[in-house]
Structures are given as structure tokens and as C-alpha cells.
């Protein structure tokens, strides 16, 4: 159920307010273009600057508009365990299919602290939980051993791995087996990630190239020569786009790309700002190379 191209949905703003009309348009754009799953209220969705009402509304609207057509993996993480529990319980109540829970940022918990954090969320909800391991943002790195302990709990089903360390895929597969879902959080390593045992991505690029990302994911997990050749071809097309999405802090570049595609405005909330003119050129050139504009 949780595999392939899952989009880390941007949250569109207009006059610094949540633009629900553009958001609904985005959701149906993804359903139409083959995206395999929707991930609202994550990092790319600017969750740190959403207030509680907005956070809950973003998830509710995503669940309502997708209407069971594709899974919704709700971003419900926090560096406060109580807040993460509250957000996860809300996501469960309104019908999300799973929760994406980031490792607690700023607090710098130990591995035991990480275990107890996720265990508490697990014990207070019935939603499947995907661990979001992103040391570049949260400072701490969850070990494979800690993940193995968590996988023994009823709701922990997988990881969004944004470490960028491809050998982690092998170690995780060896220790936790094939049933533990591994999704990459790094678009640029998705090909090798899947070759090593991953089953998909939670993608930034999918916001503006859903069909390409979905097709790439479909072929990259198949073992026949024709499929692998096709996956490599698509990866070459996508690599410049992946790179352009991170010329400045995410999601500023992808929101600019979305504006070029007439999907929404490129507004971001402080402390993020719009990308510079030279970097706009990089984004535009990448989209042209991929025939997206």
C-alpha cells in the first residue's frame, strides 16, 4: 500500500493564508497524474509554520478530496511527544491511512528517548506509523538497532530514510527484513535505493513532475532488463530537476516550479523566502530539460 511515488505535498499560501482552492487543485492533479500516495503537512508542506488549526485542516482536506483513491500519509511529528500523539490521533480520527512521524528535532534525545517517543505514539493510536529519519534537520540519527526495536511494536511499519546513506538500506533490510517498508526521502538516490531493497520515495520533485516520478518508481522496482533500462532513462531526465529543487531551502524552489506550472503561488512563510533570480533560472532550465514547461 505504501510504495511508489508518494508526494511530500506543498502547502499553498495566498496573502499568507492557506489557499485551500489551490490545495484541492493540487490533490486532483496528483490523482490524475499517477501519484501513488499523498503526504500532507510534512517538511515540504511547511509544517513548522502551520498553526494547529491549519495543520489539521491540511490533513482533513487531503483525506476528503482524495476520497480513498490513493493513500494519505499524514505528517504528525513533533519534538513534543504529547503534541505528536495529539496530531496522530486526529489524523486517525479523520481517516488518514498512516502517519509520518519525524524524529524529535532540537531536543536531541538519546536512542532510548527516541524509542520511548515512538512507543508512546504507537500506544496511543491505531494508525500505521512511518519513521521519518532526517539527521540534517533534526540533528539526531535513529540507529538501525532502534528501528528494529520499534518494528516489534504493532504500528511501526517502515521508514522514510533521508540520511542519504545508501548502505543504510542494506543494513536495515538485513536486520528488519523485507516486510519493513523503506522509502527514500532523497529523490536523487531513488534508483540505487530501490535497487538495494527500497520500495519507493516520499518525493519533493513529485510535486511538479508526478507522472515522471510515478513512471520512474514503477520501473525501478522491476528486475527485468527492459524495466531497469527505462528506469535509468527516466532517472537521467529527473536528476537535473531533483538538483534544482534544492538550490535553496526546500520548499522555496519547488513552490517556484509549481508557480511556473500554474499550480499555485510561490509564497512561503518566514523564515523562508522566495528563491533568487539566478536560482529561478536553474529551476526553469531544469523544467525545460524535462519537458515540464
Query: Which one is catalytic: 160, 218, 255, 280?
Result: 160
Q: Does the annotation count 25 as an active-site position?
A: no
H or E segment and range at residue 86: helix 81-93
* β pairing state of 181-184 and 156-161: parallel
Cα-Cα-Cα-Cα torsion 74, 75, 77, 78, nearest 10 degrees, comes to -130
CA distances from residue 117 to 77, 156, 249, 261 in whole angstroms, order as listed:
10, 12, 28, 40
Which cell is 110 given?
A: 538519546
Which listed residue (132, 218, 259, 280) is catalytic? 132
93 is catalytic: no
DSSP conformation letters of 136-180:
HHHS----HHHHHHHHTSSSEEEEEE-S--THHHHHHHHHH-TTS
Question: CB under 8 Å to 248, separation ≥6 — which residues?
Answer: 275, 276, 279
Q: Is the peptide bond before 20 cis (omega within 30 degrees of 0)?
A: no
| Residue entry with cell 528506469 | 231
Active site residues per annotation: 132, 160
Amino acid at each position: 500500500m505504501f510504495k511508489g511515488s508518494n508526494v511530500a505535498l506543498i502547502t499553498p499560501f495566498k496573502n499568507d493564508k492557506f489557499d485551500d482552492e489551490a490545495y484541492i487543485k493540487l490533490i486532483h492533479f496528483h490523482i490524475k497524474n499517477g501519484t501513488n500516495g499523498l503526504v500532507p503537512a510534512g517538511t515540504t508542506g511547511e509544517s513548522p509554520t502551520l498553526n494547529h488549526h491549519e495543520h489539521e485542516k491540511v490533513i482533513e482536506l487531503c483525506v476528503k478530496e482524495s476520497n480513498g483513491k490513493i493513500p494519505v500519509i499524514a505528517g504528525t511529528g513533533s519534538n513534543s511527544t504529547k503534541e505528536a500523539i495529539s496530531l496522530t490521533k486526529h489524523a486517525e480520527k479523520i481517516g488518514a491511512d498512516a502517519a509520518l512521524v519525524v524524529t524529535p528535532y532540537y531536543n536531541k534525545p538519546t536512542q532510548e528517548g527516541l524509542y520511548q517517543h515512538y512507543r508512546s505514539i504507537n500506544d496511543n493510536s491505531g494508525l500505521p506509523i512511518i519513521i521519518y529519519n532526517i539527521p540534517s534537520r533534526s540533528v539526531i540519527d535513529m540507529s538501525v538497532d532502534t528501528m528494529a526495536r520499534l518494528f516489534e511494536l504493532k504500528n511501526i511499519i517502515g521508514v522514510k530514510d533521508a540520511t542519504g546513506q545508501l548502505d543504510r538500506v542494506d543494513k536495515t533490510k538485513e536486520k528488519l527484513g523485507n516486510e519493513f517498508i523503506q522509502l527514500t526521502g532523497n529523490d536523487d538516490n531513488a534508483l540505487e535505493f530501490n535497487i538495494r531493497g527500497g520500495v519507493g520515495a516520499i518525493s519533493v520533485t513529485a510535486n511538479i513532475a508526478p507522472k515522471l516520478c510515478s513512471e520512474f518508481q514503477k520501473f525501478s522496482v522491476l528486475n527485468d532488463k527492459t524495466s531497469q533500462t527505462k528506469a535509468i532513462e527516466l532517472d537521467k531526465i529527473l536528476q537535473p530537476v531533483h538538483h534544482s529543487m534544492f538550490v535553496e531551502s526546500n520548499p522555496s524552489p519547488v513552490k517556484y516550479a509549481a508557480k511556473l506550472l500554474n499550480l499555485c503561488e510561490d509564497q512561503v512563510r518566514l523564515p523562508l523566502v522566495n528563491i533568487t533570480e539566478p536560482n529561478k533560472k536553474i529551476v526553469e532550465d531544469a523544467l525545460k530539460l524535462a519537458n515540464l514547461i
